[in-house]
Amino acid sequence: MGRLTTHVLDAAHGRPGSGIEIELFRVDGEQLTRVARASTNHDGRCDSPLLQGEDFRPGTYQLHFHVGAYYRQRGVELAEPAFLDVVALRFGIAAGEDHYHVPLLVSPYSYSTYRGS
């Protein structure tokens, strides 16, 4: 059965990004509909998949990682406005039976992602 998972690595400090708020939206044209919300645990992962079962279906989605709040809570001095506040990743799910894993490697000034396994 297909599912969507994610995790966050804090590349600036070399550790998992714990306590980061994540929102998942389904994209329909210009409209975003929030379908899930979670926070990362001590290992930088969500405790359960963001999508699974009958909610997991092909389409375009967007993840919002609230990294500005994460760095502020850890005492990192950020410019106002922060260079990165909410990292938005738009991606497609084409196969309803696959495992889609979308990790985020982040620092206050850069990020990268890939389709993991």
Binding-site entries for substrate: 7, 45, 114
Per-residue burial over 46-76, b if 16 or more Cβ lie within 10 Å, else e, is: beebbbeeeebeeeebebbbebbebbeeeee
Tokens linked to 92: 């497609």
Residues making up the annotated binding site are 7, 45, 114
CA-closest candidate to residue 105, choices 44, 39, 25: 44
Task: Strand 21-28: give its sheet, edge to edge.
Answer: 31-39, 21-28, 59-66, 86-93
CA-closest candidate to residue 4, choices 88, 109, 96, 83: 96
